[in-house]
Chain A
Amino acid sequence: MLAKAARNTYNKRMSFIELNAVKFTYNSGERDEAVALDGVSLSIGAGEFVAVVGHNGSGKSTLAKLINGLYEPDEGEILVDGLSTADDKNLFDIRSRVGVVFQNPDNQMVATIIEDDIAFGPENLGLPPAEIRARVDWALAGVGMSEYAKGMPFKLSGGQKQRVAIAGVLALKPRVMILDESTSMLDPKGREEVMRVVKKLVDEEKMTVILITHFMEEAMQCGRIVVLKEGKVFLDGGREILTREAELKEAGLETPFAVRMANALRARGIGIDADVMTLPALVEALCR
């Protein structure tokens, strides 16, 4: 009910990505058949910064691959900028609008030299060499990796590799960037590096970003949070979703520490405003 109400407010915006009752099953008809998405409807507008969270196997990564046309929905429809992913003729245009940064930093580098790798996308777009060069330099600068242009990826840290992967997508100048658990294999420092770049893209480049993650601290930085549970949209709304401890737990997720603390204090009769979600805010509330 609540999820539905929240979704309706989002539908009022111009939607750029539209999922209508999407169903997707792995190994359909076989012994190890697994339903990944079970009737998901979502609409994401241009300029949104959305977190998609959920337990492992909740279908969140499948979502990224569906939006990008790597998979085709079994039922329902996905429209990107009005183009259906079911039509192979649209895939090139869809992929030039929606880029994906994947999970494993070692498995998305095509070339052995960093700048060659970043050039891969724009080369596929058929751009003139000078334009490709300009985009590569711009993308590398955008993620703060210019000095490594001629270097080799396997000498980089995990965080640096993912920044290169982001640059590789950025060079396509997509409207939407999906980060498919791109921080899950990184150490805290690497995660921070990647999140800093992502926030810059949102703030400065006005990029639409879909952040697929199970780190709640990361989700907290987004304007909207979609919680998936067993292939269905379980919650969808603003950051206030993170205060719903019981429901998050049910979805196999954690509540951020400050929220957990605030809830526990409230339960013990200590008044704390409902919008307290971060540690500094909690400190303020307790010192008042």
Chain B
Amino acid sequence: MPVEIRGLSYDYDQKTKFQKRALFDIGFTVRDGDFLGIVGHTGSGKSTLVTHFNALNRVQQGTVVVDGVDLSQKFDYKALRAKVGMVFQYPEYQLFDETVYKDVAFGPKNLGLDEREIAVRVEAAIRMVGLDYDAVKERSPFELSGGQMRRAAIAGVLAMRPEILILDEPTAGLDPRGKREVMRLIQGFRAMCKIIVMISHNMDEVAANCSRIIVMNEGRVYGDYAPEELFHNEELLSALRIDMPAVCTLTRRLNERGFSLPEDTLDEAVLLERLVGAVRAKRGGGHA
């Protein structure tokens, strides 16, 4: 169920004096199995772009086709939103119901599912985000800790069983452990969702998780890269004011000082092995 975007442009406040172009002629295709990272600094159009996938933004110019459904034509909103789930920034701020169960059930209920199916989905979703179902189902979502609230909110989207899952900065504001855990959970969602799209400012996270990266810059797609290709390209990253992941920075700095480490990995463990070898050879050689 690919998402095909062709010639997509978008203006804020269209037909007013404040009209401002936010997206310029965007074109790319997201395929099944992609864990797509969308990066770019604040205001580059990342959120405006992804909110086209579930038609929160209407297509003004160009086309967006989700699983064969052309969103620039008439289509069934509910069916689309069942297919494309979206976790917004700080999703815990949208929790509203008396109990975690009811809140998570909100989405499936809107889809018009029967109670039994809803119950199955809600339980599965709550377990998928690593919460103790029996302990939280009857609790008010507002009594949970910050990290638990975030998970409950994510469960609310998962319960709709989306085939495409979009996450806008899912780890923002969490502590290091919370960040790690949420990313681990998201990796687990790949078993259910055919496509995952993640917007993030955390390049270490993107480097460690995404299979493909789209770089946005001033409303345009700047490029479409494999992670290894993007994150070892220091010139490109600094031009775009994107942080270089630490693994890549270390590799590059060492190579500038006479090492010859291959610039093809983002994995700390791989780099470590290579370093051990290189340093042993070097120091050993020096002593001989």
Direct A–B contact in complex, judged by CB atoms less than 8 Å apart: yes
Q: How far is the CB of A188 from chain B (nearest CB, A)?
A: 6
- How many A-B contacts if CB must be within 8 Å? 80
Q: Please name all residues of chain A whose beta carbon is closer than 8 Å to the beta carbon of B241 when the two chains form the complex.
A: 189
Considering only residues 9-66 of chain A, those with a C-beta below 8 Å from chain B are 32, 54-57
A270→B280 contact, CB < 8 A: yes
A283→B42 contact, CB < 8 A: no
B250→A282 contact, CB < 8 A: yes
The digit string for A178-206, where 1 denotes a CB below 8 A from any CB of B, is 00000011011110000000000000000
B201→A188 contact, CB < 8 A: yes
Q: Please name all residues of chain A whose beta carbon is closer than 8 Å to the beta carbon of B42 when the two chains form the complex.
A: 157-158, 187, 189-190
Asked if B178 is at the interface (CB within 8 A of a chain A CB), the reply is: yes
Q: A261-B272, A265-B275 are in contact. Are A216 and B253 (CB under 8 A)?
A: no
How far does the alpha carbon of A91 sit from the alpha carbon of B41 in the complex, in Å?
A: 41
Q: Please name all residues of chain A whose beta carbon is closer than 8 Å to the beta carbon of B283 when the two chains form the complex.
A: 270
The digit string for A149-173, where 1 denotes a CB below 8 A from any CB of B, is 0000000011000000000000000
Asked if A232 is at the interface (CB within 8 A of a chain B CB), the reply is: no
Q: Please name all residues of chain B whose beta carbon is closer than 8 Å to the beta carbon of A188 when the two chains form the complex.
A: 201, 243
Asked if A279 is at the interface (CB within 8 A of a chain B CB), the reply is: yes
B173→A287 contact, CB < 8 A: no
Q: How far is the CB of A250 from chain B (nearest CB, A)?
A: 11
Q: How far is the CB of B208 from chain A (nearest CB, A)?
A: 12
Asked if B279 is at the interface (CB within 8 A of a chain A CB), the reply is: yes
Q: A261-B250, A279-B249, A283-B254 are in contact. Are A185 and B280 (CB under 8 A)?
A: no
Q: Please name all residues of chain B whose beta carbon is closer than 8 Å to the beta carbon of A126 when the two chains form the complex.
A: none
A265→B249 contact, CB < 8 A: no
Q: Please name all residues of chain A whose beta carbon is closer than 8 Å to the beta carbon of B257 when the two chains form the complex.
A: 283, 287
B268→A261 contact, CB < 8 A: yes
Asked if A71 is at the interface (CB within 8 A of a chain B CB), the reply is: no
A287→B172 contact, CB < 8 A: no
How far does the alpha carbon of A32 sit from the alpha carbon of B283 in the complex, in Å?
A: 59
* Contacting residue for B279 out of A54, A189, A279, A286, CB 8 A: A286
Closest to A215 in B: B176
Asked if A236 is at the interface (CB within 8 A of a chain B CB), the reply is: no
Q: Which stretch from A75-83, A107-115, A251-259 is at the chain B interface?
A: A251-259
Asked if A89 is at the interface (CB within 8 A of a chain B CB), the reply is: no
User: Which range contains the number of B residues in contact with the other chain?
Assistant: 20 to 34
Q: Please name all residues of chain A whose beta carbon is closer than 8 Å to the beta carbon of B249 when the two chains form the complex.
A: 279
How far does the alpha carbon of A186 sit from the alpha carbon of B271 in the complex, in Å?
A: 30
The digit string for B268-288, where 1 denotes a CB below 8 A from any CB of A, is 100110011001100100000
Q: Which stretch from B63-71, B140-148, B183-191 is at the chain A interface?
A: B140-148
Q: How far is the CB of B45 from chain A (nearest CB, A)?
A: 14
Q: Please name all residues of chain B whose beta carbon is closer than 8 Å to the beta carbon of A70 when the two chains form the complex.
A: none
Q: A57-B145, A252-B175 are in contact. Are A264 and B246 (CB under 8 A)?
A: no
Q: A56-B147, A157-B42 are in contact. Are A253 and B276 (CB under 8 A)?
A: no
Q: Please name all residues of chain B whose beta carbon is closer than 8 Å to the beta carbon of A54 when the two chains form the complex.
A: 175
Considering only residues 262-288 of chain A, those with a C-beta below 8 Å from chain B are 264-265, 268, 270, 279-280, 282-283, 286-287
**4 more CB-based (< 8 A) A-B contacts, given A257-B246, A258-B246, A265-B279:** A189-B241, A252-B175, A283-B257, A286-B254
Q: List 19 A-B contacts (CB under 8 A).
A: A57-B146, A189-B41, A216-B176, A252-B176, A253-B175, A254-B176, A257-B250, A258-B246, A260-B268, A261-B272, A264-B272, A270-B276, A279-B246, A279-B249, A282-B250, A283-B254, A283-B257, A286-B279, A287-B258
Residues on B close to A: CB < 8 A? 41-43, 143, 145-147, 172-178, 201, 241, 243, 246-247, 249-250, 253-254, 257-259, 268, 271-272, 275-276, 279-280, 283
4 A-B pairs with least C-beta separation: A257-B246, A254-B176, A252-B177, A214-B175
Residues on A close to B: CB < 8 A? 32, 54-57, 157-158, 184-185, 187-190, 214, 216, 252-254, 257-258, 260-261, 264-265, 268, 270, 279-280, 282-283, 286-287
